[in-house]
Amino acid sequence: MKKKILLSILVGVIAFLFIIPLILTITNSFMEPSQVQNQYENVFNSNNKEFSGLKFIPDWISLKQYYNVLILKTNFLKMFWNSVFMVVPIILGQVIVSSFAAYAFAKLKFTCRDNLFYTYILLMLMPFQVTVVPNYLIANFLGILNSFLSIIFPGIFSVFGVFLLRQFIKKLPDGYIEAAKIDGANHVQIFLKIILPLSKNYIASLCVLLMIDYWNMVQQPLIFLKDVSMHPLSLYLAQVNKDEISIAFAAATIYMIPVLLIYLYAENYFVEGIKNSGLKG
């Protein structure tokens, strides 16, 4: 019993330490820009001996940072919608492609099926730096460099979704499919009426993971998008933290909202999907 209590306390302390940056970001976003500027100038000034620590609670609540980000800094909203226009098609496209491919790899029998799937796994294990050159050459050949399509197409045909969904579909009893075939259903009907409804937890898990991954992407747009006006919000945050610290916290707070909302909405599906997907330790 004591071990469980000590373990719970330890986990609670670790969780609190991990959540401190989130709390700091949100509370600092309601500070006056001048207060933020002064506070973090003291942090980064090694010659300052009067610095007493970071403030979590603002001296007075102000929405000026949000006004600066949403109204005065037009680049923020533009890059926000750039992120939306790239991430949403990637999520929808990868869910569609991955679910069909996963069903084929899990339940259909064709020549070299397993060998082809293992090749998929090898591709998934390769880091982005290995595949960036082939992707760049293909995008150049298709004439889609410096367009959203150069980001969307590789995302749609990413391997991870196939792996995740195939792990679950393979566990489904073949009796479901055989019974549907006896009733005259074809593979498309089986997939739409049986496989998809049973896979909703795993599809939700995939959507959350894809949202986190592609909402935070940095390397792909830097390489494939030369036009700065087409960059996503993730690149804007990397710059604003360096050049405009006074609005960095408001920008970061708004940036977190879509991911947090999606995770909170799909939390139960996400936990259940990951728990039974074969990804747990």
Alpha-helical (H) ranges within 157-247 are 160-169, 174-182, 187-190, 196-198, 200-215, 219-224, 233-243
Residue 157 lies in a domain: yes
Q: What is the CATH number for 166?
A: 1.10.3720.10
Q: Do 8 and 82 have their domain in common? A: no
Q: Do 124 and 78 have their domain in common? A: yes
CA-CA distance, 196 to 262, in Å (whole number)? 20
Q: Which domain holds residue 108?
A: 74-275
The mean per-residue pLDDT over the stretch 106-122 comes to 86
Please report the sign of the dihedral spanned by the C-alpha atoms of residue 45, residue 48, residue 52, residue 57. negative
Q: Do 26 and 165 have their domain in common? A: no
The pLDDT assigned to 148 comes to: 94
The confidence band for 279, taking pLDDT boundaries of 50, 70 and 90, is: very low
The pLDDT assigned to 177 comes to: 87
- Say yes or no to pLDDT of 47 above 60: no
- Say yes or no to pLDDT of 46 above 60: no
Residue 214 lies in a domain: yes
Residue 56 lies in a domain: yes
Average pLDDT, whole number, for the chain?
84
Query: Of 91, 29, 90, 13, whose CA–CA distance to 65 is shortest?
Result: 29
Q: Do 10 and 79 have their domain in common? A: no
Residue 280 lies in a domain: no
CA-CA distance, 55 to 42, in Å (whole number)? 12
Q: Do 144 and 250 have their domain in common? A: yes
Q: Do 31 and 146 have their domain in common? A: no
CA-CA distance, 64 to 135, in Å (whole number)? 42
Q: Do 82 and 173 have their domain in common? A: yes
Q: Do 38 and 88 have their domain in common? A: no
The string of pLDDT tens digits covering residues 224-272 is 998 888 999 988 887 776 666 778 888 889 999 888 888 888 777 666 6
Q: Do 51 and 104 have their domain in common? A: no
Q: Do 145 and 31 have their domain in common? A: no
Residue 67 lies in a domain: no
Last residue of a domain, one of 42, 62, 82: 62
Q: Do 98 and 45 have their domain in common? A: no
The mean per-residue pLDDT over the stretch 265-280 comes to 62
* Domains contained in the chain, number: 2
The pLDDT assigned to 45 comes to: 58
The pLDDT assigned to 103 comes to: 92
Q: Do 89 and 55 have their domain in common? A: no
Query: Of 44, 278, 31, 281, whose CA–CA distance to 166 is shortest?
Result: 278
- The residue ranking higher by pLDDT, 42 or 138, is 138
Residue 116 lies in a domain: yes
Residue 69 lies in a domain: no
- Give the H or E element holding residue 264: helix 248-265
Residue 148 lies in a domain: yes
Asked if 181 and 144 touch (Cβ cutoff 8 Å), the reply is no
Please, what is the end-to-end C-alpha distance for the chain in angstroms? 25
